[in-house]
Structure 1
Amino acid sequence: MCSDVHSQPKEDQCAFVRNHCDPEEYNVGMLHHLSMHYCWSNLWKRIGTMLSAIVLGLLFLGLGSTASDYLCPNLYSISKLLNMSDNLAGLTLLALGNSAPDVLSTYRAMSLGSASLALSELLGAAFFINSVIIGSVAVISPTEVKRNLFVRDSTMFLLVSVVMFYIVFRSKITISNCILLLSLYMAYVFVVILSHSVIRKRVRKHLQQVRSRSRFSREESYERTIQSIDQVYLDDFVHLPTIDSMVVVNPPPSEQRLEHEDEEDEDEAEAEENQLSLILSSDSNTLKRPLLPKTRSSEPSSHGSIRLEDPGLSSGLDPHAHVNGDINYENSDDFVAQFVGYETRRRLSVSSLNKTHARLLLPEATGFNNLDILSKVLFIASYPISIFLRLSTPSRDYTLTEFLIQQYKKSRRMAEFPNESQTTFELDDFDFDFAFDKKLLTIQTFFGTASAYGLLVGHDTYKSYPILLLLSAATAYVVSFYYPTVLNDYRAISKLIRINKFCTGLGFIVSISWISSFATEVIAILKTVSLVYGLSDEVLGVTVFALGNSIGDFVSNITIAKGGSPLMAFGACFGGPLISMCSLGVSALIVLSSSGKSVYEVEISSSLLLFCGFLVINVALTIAGILFNNWMLDKKIGTVLILNWVIASAICILRR
């Protein structure tokens, strides 16, 4: 047994771990952490310990950053290319992307025989998010919750928590348990989509009733529909304190009032419906701004995407350009200006430096001074891994692809009907720096291809370096050569669309590869820590592993709550843990099918069982507390939730 290393003389410990510690369990990562501790001299051992701690922190940051900044944007682009609705994509592909670190970590741990570590991480992360993060949001910004959404999500979360408690209590995972977890999540997706469609029908019906009673200007209709929105919603639609920050559609100016009533009434009704739908989209996961997700578990649920963004990022957008995720291309020049305003701020924020290497290494430097202290610390700590991922992982914004598709259609019409008055578009006419984008994409495809090949092939990559370099160089050359310099006809536009689609797929593969690699290295370090310091997998799972995977959620949700959007932060605390716990069913099914077994036995301590019981009690207390507090999430409830986590964690650690 590898755990007997502590009973060996110090001079024999190095040979013992090499002979008795299964490399498939302990040396699964790129670094051999056991050898660093038992085979190095005292000085180098301390250096190795510090190195492992630094690597562990960077790995946790890398897990969150890869999922939020690369995997989710590419998954969103894939969902649009597959013509999936925003609601369905948010509850499936984007939910999976946001929870990919937990999902892949669980699978890797179970495949290595450390199911107790996987279970404790899932339960620890779920407990931390639904106690400390919700409690912190309540303390920072007390708010009234939307009762129907809260009842729906909290009830489903409670059911999944009870199933997890049952699994822990029996100390085994069966195929029926896996099917039950997956069925619960599919039922949740179905209920969310159904409730979304019901609300949209009520919005449309209410607008038709209002319009049939009277004629009024757009300004008046905007005010009336906002004031009467409570009549539309089931129960009462809570007066959101963040409604101004959520609505990107402003009432149109008075000079745009109806001139041709018969023709414009229908357009006005549609616009009003879109305005209300946008407000209601915090329920249905269709609140879409022209920004990509910035946090790992921010929106797997139905409460609207949670994004860390520059405060002034959307100020330059036309209020009618983005409604329910649909982009208005009627005025292409206006859209280009809007698109450029967004893209140049997001990706080319240091263009004033006028140096390619600075723009590659400092893409978001201008927003640093606007961050709070906690966000600055996180930005600095994650900077090395962020640059590493930026140069090796393609991430294509679907906003650009969708714009190009519209221009492609217009160019085709111009080719078919040359007498019509239409306009061609050249890349040089845009402020968006396509030349820089071409350079960045070439670098990303080179290192991205190399990374994907190396990570998928494994440790024998060095044996095929010539093939690796040739394949990477060829891919980068094709992208660079194929990237058009002028959009003068539909053929050139079609080339750029195909490049974006290819790089979206490559970015997805590379993102998954990095997340899997990071998760494997995290497990390798934690297994080493468990052996060296005599800590159980349960303790490491509910503390280091769970907190490391949840730190991104904590920072982003606290920032959002401080920014005046507590409901958005509160809603995000249910969907992420929900899909993470349900993903146990997928991981267990894969492991069981590969091993040919029908039952996966798990070594469960009484501490983990008690901790899981605390999770169920905490969810029940949250439901009861908010219910008997007139649907208010206030400081009292927040304090109790935080104390619950402190007590449960302390008991779990002390009992071990």
Structure 2
Amino acid sequence: MADQFFSKYPYATILLNLSFIFLVSCLLTAHFWTDPNPTSDHYKTADTETGCKGIQMLEIRQEKCSYVKSHEGCKTRGYIPYLHLFYCTFSPVLGYVSLSLWLILLFYLLADTASNYFCHSLVGLSKILKLSPTAAGISLLSLGNGAPDVFASIISFTGEGTADIGLNSVLGGAFFVSCVVTGIIGVSVGNDGARISRRGFTIHVGVLLLSLACLILIIAVGELSLCAALSFLSLYFIYALLVFACSEEKENENGLQDVEAPLCCYIDNEGHDGDDTAGRLPKDGKNGGVVSKILCILELPLYVPRRLTIPLVSEDKWSKPFAVSSVTLAPIALVLTWNSNSTKLRALEIGGSVGIVCGILAFRTIQSSNPPRKCIIFWLAEGFIMSVTWAYILAQELISLLVSLGYILGIDESLLGLTVLAWGNSVGDLVANVTMAQKGGTEGAQIAVSGSYAGPIFNTVVGLGLSLSFSAWSNYPASYALFVDQSVFVTVGFFMVGLIWAFVMLTKRKMVVDKYLGSGLLVIYLCFLSLQIARLLGLVEILVPNL
């Protein structure tokens, strides 16, 4: 996961924070030295065009700037006006550099929020609820591991004309993990003779194939009722029941548990999960030199805003000042994020009052040395809610940036979701699963391969299931019309080919994870990627007949 990588390479975190400072400086400079939103009537038209695709027909940069200022479809859905900054404020070089850096930062922040905050709250809740490892793995911890994909999918489906991004990002990420990550695992441990559970693997592949078949049917029909959406979501309950049934078996024919819980959120036995910048700062201030102090300070810009609103309830991360600030600022942050503009002022007054009262109570009742023993579920619930809020904000900004990049680069945003967004959200799975397979022996290979299929099941069924359910609910009692790029059939087709290849090769080779399995999966993904690149370059056109 992201926290493992950045704990291993702390200077990468510092580089990201410096990039953030650079971007804020550019934004402030642009705000004070340029007119942020001058009016222009040059391109105001009465057309019915949705989005901002008309900008691709213009050649001169000033014309594009005027178009962005005047066209309603060019307004960003997030907090930052990317198209206005790129065409009207920044130079082309600075624009590309800034948007690229911000894209990397958003990926990092979304993954880090899920790993260090969201997952932390889920682990605490699983302990309070006394869930078994299997139950926690297929419910709370799978949600923590798949949070970036799930939130990005939900945000994209709630936007106008962006459902393609969410659908392709989830399918692209699931395909990448099950095909590329499993392929690399096969190539890297091919000489070790590691075997995996036949029963568990059959469950993974069977549920994935069933969910993809149902998804093809949904897309082919083109509309979805609330009942159908909930039925698709219920496939995960079927998967959970199968996992529980298999987990009752002590050992399979290989002496391993049939299904390993996909515990990809890294939290060790002592609870030291991820980075603790605030904790290191006073420690380095006492024992380190000037360089250590400077390095710790440079890590604060991306750390402090989330830490001020999300409580971390553990012995090593507990901080009374941060705890008080979190209960004080959380109601205000919730109002600013979730409330509509029409009632925001009144709600902000109420939220501020509630926050002040909660802050005073927390200051007078909690201790500085250790987290509270009573009402700990309140702090865990707050951490869960605020982690969801931060993930929502970051996912919304990420989708908004990808849409803007699609207009700037002249690339269909669904293709960006299938590649850039999918790859970015899958890097953690790649690092964690491959490392587990290489260093964990036979058991490590079992867990890594199980995680490479259990994660895609959760993201596909729950991520898309929730997105479709929310969309169908908003249109109830009418059906939700689902209009997506027909090339999604190609993605699903290659995905199913990869699953069938893995099942056939493992069955034929007595469930041994080897280079034949891995190389075949990598070739399948390379063929798929080559076809998508050819489509992008206009060399081929994908035509899918009406079903």
Q: Per the shorter chain, which TM-score range?
A: 0.7 to 0.9
Pair 1:55 & 2:102 matched: yes
Question: 1:60-459 maps to which residues of 2 (within 5 A)?
Answer: 60-113=107-160, 114-142=162-190, 143-175=194-226, 177-197=228-248, 199=249, 233-238=251-256, 280=257, 283=259, 285=261, 299=262, 305-308=263-266, 342=270, 355=283, 385-386=302-303, 388-397=305-314, 437-457=319-339
5+ long unaligned stretches in structure 2: 1-48, 537-547
Q: 1:646 aligns with which of 526, 533, 540?
A: 526
1:27 aligns with 2:76: yes
Deviation per CA, 1:117-146: give whole Å up to 9, x if none.
111111100110011111111222232111
- 1:543 aligned to which of 390, 395, 419: 419
Q: 1:610, CA displacement in angstroms?
A: 1.4
CA contact (8 A) 2:226 2:473 kept: no
Q: Deviations over 1:190-236 (max 9, x none)?
A: 11122223x2xxx5xxxxxxxxxxxxxxxxxxxxxxxxxxxxx3444
Deviation of residue 633 (structure 1)?
0.9
What count of residue pairs does the alignment treat as equivalent?
469
Secondary structure (helix, strand or coil) at the match of 2:66 reads helix
Contact 2:197–2:259 (Cα < 8 Å) also in 1: no
Q: 53, 66, 73: which is aligned to 1:3?
A: 53
Partner amino acid, structure 1, of 2:55: V
What CA distance in whole angstroms lies between the structure 1 residues aligned with 2:368 and 2:106? 38
Q: Which amino acid aligns with 2:306?
A: L
Cα distance change on mapping 1:52 and 1:155 into 2, 3 Å = same
Q: Do 1:560 and 1:568's aligned partners in 2 also have CA atoms closer than 8 Å?
A: yes
- TM-score between both structures, scaled by the size of structure 2: 0.76
Partner of 1:36: 85
Tell me the SS of whatever aligns to 2:414: helix
In the alignment, the residues of structure 2 paired with residue 358 and residue 442 of structure 1 have an alpha-carbon distance, to the nearest angstrom, of 25
Contact 1:308/1:556 (<8 A) preserved:
no
CA deviation vs aligned residue, 1:231-268 (integer Å, no higher than 9, x gap): xx344424xxxxxxxxxxxxxxxxxxxxxxxxxxxxxx
Q: 1:358 to 1:349 in 2, by over 3 A?
A: farther
Match of 1:611 in 2: 491
CA contact (8 A) 1:393 1:447 kept: no
> For the residues of structure 1 that align with 2:73 and 2:277, how far apart are their CA atoms?
49
For residues 141 and 459 of structure 1, do their structure 2 counterparts lie closer, same or farther at Cα, with a shift above 3 Å needed? farther
Distance 1:86 1:506, change over 3 A: same
Which of the residues 600, 604, 624 maps onto 2:481?
600
CA shift for structure 1 position 383: 8.2
SS at match of 1:144: coil
| Counterpart amino acid of residue 448 in structure 2 | A
Cα deviation for residue 34 of structure 1 reads 1.3
Q: Distance in 2 between matches of 1:538 and 1:346?
A: 33
State the alpha-carbon separation in 2 of the partners of residues 610 and 170 from structure 1.
17
Aligned to 1:483: 366
TM-score, length-normalised on structure 1? 0.64
- Tell me: CA distance 1:3–1:443, structure 2 relative to 1, closer, same or farther (3 Å): same
Instruction: Specify the alignment match of 1:527 in structure 2.
Output: 403
Alpha-carbon distance between aligned partners in 1 of 2:283 and 2:489, rounded to the nearest angstrom: 56
How much has 1:72 moved relative to structure 2? 2.3
What's 2:18 paired with? none
SS at match of 2:376: helix
Q: 1:349 to 1:603 in 2, by over 3 A?
A: closer
SS at 2:372 equivalent: helix
Please give the secondary structure, in 1, of the residue aligned with 2:89.
Answer: coil
**8 A contact 2:178–2:452 mirrored in 1:** yes
CA contact (8 A) 1:611 1:649 kept: no
Structure 1 residue 445, shift from structure 2 partner: 3.8
User: Partner letter of residue 438 of structure 1?
Assistant: K
Q: What is the distance in 2 between the residues matched to 1:91 and 1:640?
A: 29
> What is the Cα deviation at residue 56 of structure 1?
1.4
Q: How many angstroms apart in 1 are the aligned matches of 2:189 and 2:199?
A: 21
Deviation at 1:380, TM superposition (A): 13
Distance 2:301 2:134 in 1: 34
Q: Write the distance in 1 (CA, Å) between the matches of 2:276 and 2:106.
A: 26
Give the Å deviation of 1:306.
3.1
Contact kept, 8 Å, 1:193 with 1:284, in 2: the verdict is no
Asked whether the equivalents of residues 219 and 482 of structure 2 are also in contact (C-alpha less than 8 Å), the reply is no
Q: Contact (CA 8 Å) 1:181, 1:582: kept in 2 or not?
A: yes
Whole-Å separation in 2 of the counterparts to 1:458 and 1:357:
44
Q: In structure 1, list runs of 5 or more residues that go unmatched.
A: 204-232, 239-279, 286-298, 300-304, 315-341, 360-364, 369-378, 398-431, 488-494
SS of 1:633's equivalent? coil
Q: What are the Cα deviations for residues 3-37 of structure 1, in whole angstroms up to 9, with x where unaligned?
A: 112334543333322333436xx511110111112
- Structure 1 or 2, whichever has the larger Rg, is 1
Q: What is the rounded CA distance, in whole Å, between the counterparts of 2:304 and 2:509 in structure 1?
A: 46
Moved more, 76-85 or 63-72: 76-85
Q: Residues 59 and 351 (structure 1 numbering): CA distance in 2 closer, same or farther, change over 3 Å?
A: closer
- In structure 2, the residue matched to 1:269 is none
Q: Give a deviation string over 1:67-125, Cα, whole Å, max 9, x none.
A: 22221221233344345444333322332232222222111111113121111111100
1:12 and 2:60 matched: no
Tell me the percent identity. 23
Q: Which residue of 1 aligns with 2:21?
A: none
8 A contact 1:148–1:235 mirrored in 2: no
| Aligned 8 A contact 2:156 2:399 in 1 | yes
Counterpart amino acid of residue 484 in structure 2: E
8 Å CA contact 2:195, 2:513 repeated in 1: yes
- Structure 1 pair 534–352 and aligned structure 2 pair: CA distance change class (3 A): closer
Which amino acid counterpart does residue 306 of structure 1 have in structure 2? C
